[in-house]
């Protein structure tokens, strides 16, 4: 009897119909495959941050920031699309796993092409990006075949992604001048962002709010880990020279306090609350898309801390003010993004609602004073203290 059961079990594991999962499913957590996906994609995040550091330390500020924003979009958009699809249709069978591994391979190809992209050659990044997106098309076509209720939505996704990828490839093959290419890039980004909105308007997919919030939270954790790694490596290299040890230790302490504060502030409010309370397409899209600023700014803080080490060890070509801004601007963007997406300007606790934007303004102002990074760390820690005491007082009064 056992010999008859095992083949059936293997068949069920090998292939399952790709139907929508229950959006209220209990104990829905990230799978090992999703965690592997995140770890591989953070390699691309690290590559983008490293090249941004190289550009900034040589004084190429405008070019470095623009290239970083473009490359980071390719990384983030591939991650985002997989995460939302998996929340609604993850079957964890062999075809699904293989398609996901192809997407991971595309993400690693993007990582391999980051250096060239910062030098103006986006061909390798384009190959990896198209590989990710076409693998995503196969997933949507499979969903369209297995789930009649959401077939129209799935086909709109598949068709929209394919159409935009054709535009990306045409753009790469034609090779427009740099100024025109930048405009076309912006247009194609808008097209990419429009595909989910158009497809979801045909019938929403059954993504899981708690699962999505966890996926975003885990990626935020990994990015913050990359920040710690970048800053630690930079401090280690600076200390190995035997000079500026006291300054670098103080900078390392400030950087650690800053990262700890960013972690605390992001996870202070449960991420799924916004998705549950405001389930409209516009609110969901703004929450999901807005995390581009959270992820990109968090990763850029690591670059800023590396640059601060270079400045203190006299290995940088840019001024002290510019060095400070490379840290304070991403921190301010991070605070404002978390405020808008998690806290809310109309938060019932007014101290918290006002504290985030006020701290962001003070962080930017700290750029023009002495020890800007240390002051930024103190301000971020003070905001953490404010949220703790304000929340505690509200709980006691309740």
Distance, CA of 386 to CA of 381 (rounded, Å): 9
Residues near 330 by beta carbon (within 8 Å), at least 6 away in sequence: 296, 297, 298, 300, 301, 304
C-beta separation of 247 from 310 below 8 A: no
Query: What is the DSSP secondary-structure string of 254-318?
Result: HHHHHHHHHHHHHHSS-THHHHHH--SHHHHHHHHHHHHHHHHHHHHHHHHHHHHHHHHTT--SS
331 close to 380: Cβ distance less than 8 angstroms: yes
Q: Of the candidates 158, 181, 200, which is a domain's last residue?
A: 200
Residue 247 pLDDT: 86
Q: How far apart are the first and last CA of the chain?
A: 61
pLDDT score recorded for residue 394? 55
- The domain of 302 spans 209-397
pLDDT value of position 1: 40
Same domain, 134 and 246: no
- Are 377 and 279 contained in the same domain? yes
Residues 227 and 172 in one domain: no
How many angstroms separate the CA atoms of 224 and 46, rounded? 11
Q: Are 307 and 354 in contact (CB under 8 A)?
A: no
Q: For residue 23, is it within any domain?
A: no
Number of structural domains (the chain) is 2
Whether 55 and 180 map to the same domain: the answer is yes
What is 92-141 written as a DSSP string? -SHHHHHHHHHHHHHHHHHHHTHHHHHTT--HHHHHHHHHHHHHHHHHHH
Maximum distance among all Cα pairs of the chain, rounded to whole angstroms:
78
DSSP code string of 178-191: HHHHHHHHHHHHHH
What is the distance between the alpha carbons of residues 341 and 331, in angstroms, rounded to a whole number?
15
Q: Is 390 contained in some domain?
A: yes
Q: Give the integer Cα–Cα distance in Å for 385 and 272.
A: 23
In a domain, 291, yes or no: yes
- Asked if 217 and 136 sit in the same domain, the reply is no
Q: Are 68 and 48 in contact (CB under 8 A)?
A: yes
Whether 103 and 188 map to the same domain: the answer is yes
Task: Write out residues in the chain with pLDDT < 70, as ranges.
Answer: 1-13, 241-242, 278-279, 281-282, 346-348, 392-398
Q: How confident is the model at residue 7, as a pLDDT?
A: 44
Three-state DSSP at 353 gives: helix
Would you state the pLDDT for residue 353? 85
Point out the domain boundary residue: 182, 200, 218. 200
Other beta carbons within 10 angstroms of residue 272's beta carbon come to 17
Q: Is residue 22 part of a domain?
A: no
- pLDDT tens, position by position, 128-176: 999 999 999 999 999 999 999 999 999 999 999 999 999 999 988 887 7
The string of pLDDT tens digits covering residues 30-52 is 999 999 999 999 999 999 999 99
Using CA atoms, how far apart are residues 58 and 115, in angstroms rounded to an integer?
A: 15
Which of 151, 179, 200 terminates a domain? The answer is: 200
Output the domain CATH number for residue 326.
Answer: 1.20.1410
If asked whether residues 95 and 221 sit together in one domain, one would say: no
Are 286 and 242 in the same domain?
A: yes
**Pair (157, 216) in one structural domain:** no
Is there a single domain that holds both residue 90 and residue 226? no
Say if residue 259 is in the same domain as residue 386.
yes
pTM of the shown model: 0.91
Q: Is residue 1 part of a domain?
A: no
State the pLDDT at residue 3. 46
| Structural domain contains residue 81 | yes
Residue 252 lies in a domain: yes
Residue 303 lies in a domain: yes
**Would you state the structure tokens that stand for residue 43, as one six-digit string?**
């390699």
The 10 Å Cβ neighbour count of residue 378 is 17
Place of tokens 């098309």: 137
The whole-number pLDDT of residue 282 equals 66
Neighbours of 277 (CB within 10 A): 10
* 150 and 222, same domain (yes or no): no
Q: Work out the angle at residue 111's Cα, subtended by the Cα atoms of residues 108 and 115, and round it to the nearest 5 degrees.
A: 150
């Amino acid at each position: 009897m056992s010999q008859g059961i095992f083949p059936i079990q293997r068949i069920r594991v090998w292939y399952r119909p790709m139907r929508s999962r229950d959006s209220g499913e209990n104990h829905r957590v990230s799978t090992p495959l999703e965690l592997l996906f995140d770890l591989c994609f953070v390699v691309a995040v690290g590559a983008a941050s490293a090249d941004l550091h190289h550009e900034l330390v040589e004084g190429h500020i405008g070019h470095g920031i623009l290239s970083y924003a473009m490359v980071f979009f390719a990384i983030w958009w591939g991650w985002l699309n997989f995460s939302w699809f998996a929340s609604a249709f993850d079957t964890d069978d062999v075809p699904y796993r293989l398609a996901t591994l192809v997407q991971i391979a595309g993400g690693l190809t993007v990582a391999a092409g980051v250096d060239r992209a910062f030098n103006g050659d986006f061909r390798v990044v384009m190959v990896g990006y198209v590989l990710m997106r076409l693998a995503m098309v196969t997933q949507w076509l499979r969903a369209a075949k297995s789930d009649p209720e959401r077939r129209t939505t799935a086909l709109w996704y598949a068709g929209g992604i394919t159409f935009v990828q054709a535009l990306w490839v045409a753009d790469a093959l034609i090779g427009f001048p740099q100024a025109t290419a930048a405009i076309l890039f912006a247009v194609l980004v808008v097209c990419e962002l429009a595909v989910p909105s158009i497809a979801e308007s045909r019938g929403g997919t059954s993504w899981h709010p708690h699962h999505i919030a966890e996926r975003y939270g885990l990626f935020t954790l990994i990015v913050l880990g990359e920040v710690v790694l970048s800053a630690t490596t930079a401090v280690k290299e600076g200390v190995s020279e035997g000079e500026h040890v006291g300054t670098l230790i103080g900078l390392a302490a400030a950087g650690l306090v800053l990262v700890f504060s960013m972690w605390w502030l992001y996870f202070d409010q449960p991420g799924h609350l916004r998705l549950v309370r405001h389930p409209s397409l516009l609110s969901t899209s703004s929450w999901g898309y807005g995390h581009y600023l959270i992820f990109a700014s968090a990763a850029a803080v690591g670059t800023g801390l590396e640059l601060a080490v270079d400045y203190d060890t006299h290995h940088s070509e840019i001024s002290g003010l510019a060095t400070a801004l490379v840290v304070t601007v991403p921190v301010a963007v991070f605070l404002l993004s978390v405020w808008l997406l998690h806290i809310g300007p109309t938060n019932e606790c007014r101290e918290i609602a006002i504290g985030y934007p006020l701290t962001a303004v003070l962080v930017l102002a700290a750029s023009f004073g002495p020890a800007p990074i240390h002051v930024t760390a103190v301000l971020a820690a003070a905001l953490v203290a404010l949220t703790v005491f304000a929340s505690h007082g509200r709980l006691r009064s309740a």
